[in-house]
Structure 1
Amino acid sequence: MKKTIQIAIDGPASAGKSTVAKIVANQLHYIYCDTGAMYRALTLAALEEGVAPDDEEGLLALLNKISITFQQQPDGQLVFLNERDVTSAIRQHDVTRHVSDVSAHKQVREEMVKRQQQIASDGGIVMDGRDIGTMVLPNAELKIFLVASVEERAMRRYKENQEKGIPTDYDRLKNEIELRDFQDSTRQASPLVQADDAILLDTTGLSIKEVVDRILNYAENARN
């Protein structure tokens, strides 16, 4: 019987992390944890409660009062904030614009990492984000760092939002992704960097199936 492993998938915004991580988890019958959705849920709560994105103490106090949970469905994963379905709400422009500021705080990230490590403690997990291989699951048996061109990432998110009925301007989205890349890679707390032992996988021009197949191949080797 093959061992269960931890799979960490990192990369910039809209590189395809969540999409492929969900499929890989489903194929392996593993748990999937969308860490980006956790930060988005906190950002949504902060916007609703009037807590400023630069108020670290306020954000930490708010985080300690809320629950963020996931529920698997046949057609995808639902995200709940205090038992309220916020799957669509956390993808709105206001949340996207402020999530990097919220996730940049050291104390906020430390608390989130504790929650994420608890979820992953039994193995058999696929987790995606920006610091999974470096901070959250530093001992993961398989680490993938996904990248893609800014133009392709913007078009992916644009199409995804169109399918969900979220009004989106492509140029604005492209600018937001470029800004998020800069913010994520230059923040002091857990910046977006490729782990030394991560496999770099450029998804530009690749289909979802091609990316998934490559990761499953790597996972097969890691499980032996």
Structure 2
Amino acid sequence: MTASTTATPCTVITIDGPAAAGKGTLARRLAEHYGFAYLDTGLLYRAVGRRLLDRGGDPCDVAAAVEVASSLRPEALEDPTLRSDETASAASQVAVIPDVRQTLLQFQKRFAASPPGGAPGVVIDGRDIGTVVCPHTPYKLFVMASLEERVERRLKELREQGIESIHGRVLQEMKDRDARDSQRDVAPLVKSEDALLIDTTEMDPEMVFSVALDHLSAQGLAPPELRS
């Protein structure tokens, strides 16, 4: 049975997958297409990790990480330093702390239940959105790509930011992040059984967007021009 063809404030599209697989690009495109609000949940963990680093603290300090997560505000997600490799590493460390995940889970659920700006729905990307945060939505996508392709994308992104990085270092950092994300005890990175798997290794963003739209339409999500 497919979902209603009319979007409601509770309409949620989830996109999960590993780093540099193309989640963010697809999520932003879908949010713009449907007129939905967008939340990159990875930025929540990056914001916590960044705040701890700025304080000279240890991302593995449970009490400090929970305190930062509890006081996190949406404006913290606009910090440009959240995209650095140092911040990404810290984020992956705080993400394995159960109490941090529980605290940020409530942030995400509030966002999904009450989209900012009165948006008719939300697009949320992360690692456990379709399995933990919004498991009941019928609109689930899981985006992946080969490790080597993801490394090349990350290197390109860094070069565009004026940052020169060594291939071997980026490769190892991505392997480490993949291991932490998939092996943690709480909410590990795993594909929801009812999510569409999209391997973007040999696909450009337009192809990925087209595949996602076809799937969402098949699941009953009407295009924006047909929604009231």
TM-score using structure 1 length: 0.89
What is the 5 A alignment of 1:38-53? 38-53=44-59
CA-based RMSD:
1.6
Give the deviation of 1:66 after TM superposition: 3.1
1:160: Cα distance to partner? Answer: 1.2
Query: 1:66 maps to which residue?
Result: 72
Instruction: Report Cα offsets for 1:152-181 as digits up to 9, x if no partner.
Output: 001111111211223322221111111111
2:112 matched residue in structure 1: 120
Residues in 2 aligned to 1:216 and 1:165: alpha-carbon distance in whole angstroms: 34
Cα offset for 1:81?
1.6
Q: Which residue of 2 aligns with 1:33?
A: 39
Residues 39-65 of structure 1 deviation map (CA, whole Å, 9 limit, x = unaligned): 111110010112311111111112223
CA–CA distance in 2 between the matches of 1:171 and 1:212? Answer: 31
User: Structure 2 unaligned runs (5+)?
Assistant: 115-119, 223-228
Amino acid at match of 2:103: E
Partner of residue 186 from structure 1, selected from 165, 171, 183: 183
- Residues in 2 aligned to 1:98 and 1:138: alpha-carbon distance in whole angstroms: 27
Cross-structure match for 1:81: 76
Is residue 2:169 matched to residue 1:172?
A: yes
| Maintained 8 Å contact 1:24/1:126 | yes
Q: Does 1:3 align with 2:7?
A: yes
Length-normalised TM-score, structure 2: 0.87
Identity of aligned residues (%): 35
Q: Tell me, yes or no, if the aligned pair for 1:51 and 1:59 is still in contact at 8 Å.
A: no
Partner in structure 1 of residue 197 of structure 2: 200
Name the residue aligned to 2:94: 102
Question: Which segment is superposed worse, 160-169 or 113-122?
Answer: 160-169
User: Does structure 2 conserve the Cα–Cα contact (< 8 Å) formed by 1:149 and 1:204?
Assistant: yes
CA distance in 1, matches of 2:217, 2:150: 28
Task: Out of 165-174 and 99-108, give the one that drifted further.
Answer: 165-174
* 2:96 paired with 1:92: no
1:72 alignment partner in structure 2: none
Work out the CA distance in 2 between the residues paired with 1:94 and 1:6.
31
Aligned length: 210
1:190-217 deviations in whole A, cap 9, x for unaligned? 1111111111111110001100111111
Partner Cα separation in structure 2 for residue 182 and residue 54 of structure 1: 16
Q: Distance in 1 between matches of 2:184 and 2:45?
A: 15
Identify unmatched segments of 5+ residues in structure 1.
70-79
Task: Look up the match of 1:210.
Answer: 207
Does residue 154 of the first structure (1) align with residue 151 of the second (2)? yes
How many angstroms apart in 1 are the aligned matches of 2:213 and 2:156?
26
Q: Which moved more, 1:198-207 or 1:89-98?
A: 89-98
